[in-house]
């Protein structure tokens, strides 16, 4: 962290910086425990009277999931900023220092994205992060920040981060899938399943049958799309017993998993109340 700050001497002219290293892990290894710790530290620093803003540097692999968590659970009276780098800090043209200097919400490659909307859409490109449904909320050019829209949706209220997280897993629908994965996960005691479904949330019939059985055993089932963008049609009345499952709306499977895990931690009974669960996804 100190080396990154030292690489941006202009920061000293903008603000008094105090750094805290919450963790040092490869973001592919992000954990529920680290998420809980991060939210706790954001709440701590937000409560300090002399703090005007919080910047969180984060690896890019699971950044979109952490951004969704903070969108839902962050309680802060000051701006909370996520930023990242697609190039390593040793690169001749490292982008991390530039992104840190320009940070707001998620700022990368001179674009400002809402935490709920942003996803990583390329393995290595500098412009890997996009908001596929609504686009960036703003841009950074030289010393100017230009917002073109407000975030499309804010959570109804801040979610509590649980001390113990329910197990929610993701599986996919594709040509001729077996039901063995659904059955194994249900038997293992998972609380929820998010299906990365084809197209507009279409689930293969063999999976539907397995998911109906899982829902009957008390597992919450939510449909997202594997396409990468767009809304999954919301049923007029979700009926898992008939194969009509809750829609994640425009949330991709990974963001839908974060919301479902938080929801089931707060209210486990939502697994048996698909109408209430659908309303929750529509609101958040």
**Binding-site sequence positions for substrate:** 27, 60-61
Catalytic residue check, 150: no
Q: Which residues make up each annotated binding site?
A: 27, 60-61
* Angle ∠(52,56,62) on CA atoms, nearest 5: 150
| Active-site residue identified among 2, 60, 83, 227 | 60
Query: Which helix (H) or strand (E) segment is 35 a member of?
Result: helix 32-46
Taking CA atoms, 169 is separated from 37, 73, 101, 185, 194, in Å, by 22, 20, 36, 8, 6
* Joined tokens for residue 47: 């409560």
Report d(CA 148, CA 139) in Å as an integer: 8
Q: Hey, which residues does 253 pair with through a beta bridge?
A: none
Within 10 angstroms of residue 82's Cβ, the number of other Cβ atoms is 25
C-alpha closest to that of 106 among 123, 82, 90: 82
Q: Is 202 helix (H, G, I), strand (E, B) or coil?
A: strand
The residues carrying an active-site annotation are: 60
């Amino acid at each position: 962290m100190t080396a990154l700050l030292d690489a941006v001497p202009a920061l000293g002219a903008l603000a008094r910086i105090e750094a805290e290293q919450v963790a040092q892990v490869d973001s592919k290894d992000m954990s529920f425990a680290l998420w809980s710790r991060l939210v706790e530290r954001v709440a701590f620093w937000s409560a300090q009277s002399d703090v005007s803003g919080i910047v969180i540097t984060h690896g890019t692999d699971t950044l979109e999931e952490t951004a969704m968590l903070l969108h839902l659970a962050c309680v802060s009276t000051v701006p909370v900023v996520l930023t990242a780098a697609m190039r390593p800090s040793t690169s001749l043209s490292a982008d991390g220092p530039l992104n840190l200097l320009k940070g707001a919400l998620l700022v990368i490659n001179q674009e400002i994205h809402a935490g709920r909307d942003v996803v990583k859409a390329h393995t290595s490109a500098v412009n890997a992060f996009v908001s596929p449904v609504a686009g960036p909320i703003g841009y950074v050019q030289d010393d100017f920040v230009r917002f073109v829209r407000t975030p499309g949706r804010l959570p109804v209220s801040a979610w509590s981060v649980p001390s113990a997280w329910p197990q929610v897993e993701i599986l996919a629908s594709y040509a001729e899938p077996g039901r063995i994965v659904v059955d194994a996960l249900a038997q293992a005691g998972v609380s929820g399943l998010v299906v990365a479904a084809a197209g507009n949330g279409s689930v293969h019939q063999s999976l539907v049958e397995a998911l109906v059985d899982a829902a009957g055993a008390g597992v919450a089932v939510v449909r997202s799309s594997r396409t990468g963008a767009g809304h999954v049609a919301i049923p007029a009345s979700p009926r898992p017993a008939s194969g009509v499952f809750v829609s994640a709306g425009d949330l991709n499977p990974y963001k839908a998993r974060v919301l479902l895990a938080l929801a089931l931690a707060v209210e486990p009974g939502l697994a048996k109340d698909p109408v209430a669960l659908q309303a929750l996804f529509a609101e958040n």
